[in-house]
């Protein structure tokens, strides 16, 4: 069975377990499919240098590193970062900052879109 083009779209803020679970799903699925993890809207807060341990959430540096090693593409929405005046942390995998229109194109071409 063919690999699918999958987008995990993270739009909610990281201050619950949702982003952690979304990334765990993305790591599992990237073993079988072409994976794109896209942070938009408040999801971009996940990529700043915040301290998840302070609210009892496991850090997800390992998931980001694993995604990088498995060739998954990690994307952050340029406008959302600028609107919020954020600085992204240095992660163990490349984070591509992409404008909204390019993200829309990526989603349009995907076979599975999982939004969190």
Partner 1 sequence: MNLLIIMASNPYSHDFNTVVKLIEASLKRNHKTKIFFMANGEYCLLREEIKNLHEKGLEVYYCAHNAEQRKIKPESWAESSSMYGLAKLMTEADKVLIFD
Question: Of residues 7, 14, 27, 74, which one binds partner 1 by CB under 8 A?
Answer: 27
Minimum CB separation of residue 114 from partner 1 in Å reads 5
> Contact region for partner 1 (CB under 8 A) — 20-28, 37-45, 66-74, 75-83?
20-28
For the residues of 26-94, what is the DSSP string, one character each? HHHHTTTSEEEEEE-GGGGGGGSS--GGGGT----HHHHHHHHHTT-EEEEEHHHHHHHT--PPP-SS-
Scan residues 65-84 and list those touching partner 1 (CB under 8 A).
none
Q: Which of 114, 104, 40, 43 is nearest to 77 (CA)?
A: 40
> Contact region for partner 1 (CB under 8 A) — 30-38, 48-56, 87-95, 96-104?
30-38
3-class secondary structure, 18: helix
Minimum CB separation of residue 49 from partner 1 in Å reads 25
Q: Give the chain's end-to-end CA distance (angstroms, integer).
A: 26
Minimum CB separation of residue 85 from partner 1 in Å reads 27
Question: Of residues 5, 33, 34, 41, which one binds partner 1 by CB under 8 A?
Answer: 33
């Amino acid at each position: 069975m063919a690999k699918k083009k999958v987008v995990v779209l993270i739009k909610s803020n990281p201050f619950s377990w949702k982003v952690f679970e979304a990334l765990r799903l993305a790591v599992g699925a990237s073993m079988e499919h072409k994976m794109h993890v896209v942070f938009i809207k408040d999801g971009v807060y996940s990529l700043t240098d915040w301290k998840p341990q302070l609210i009892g959430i496991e850090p997800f540096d390992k998931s980001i590193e694993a995604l990088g090693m498995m060739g998954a593409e990690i994307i952050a929405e340029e406008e959302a970062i600028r609107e919020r005046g954020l600085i992204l942390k240095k992660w163990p995998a490349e984070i591509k900052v992409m404008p909204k229109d390019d993200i829309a194109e990526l989603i349009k071409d995907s076979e599975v879109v999982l939004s969190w």
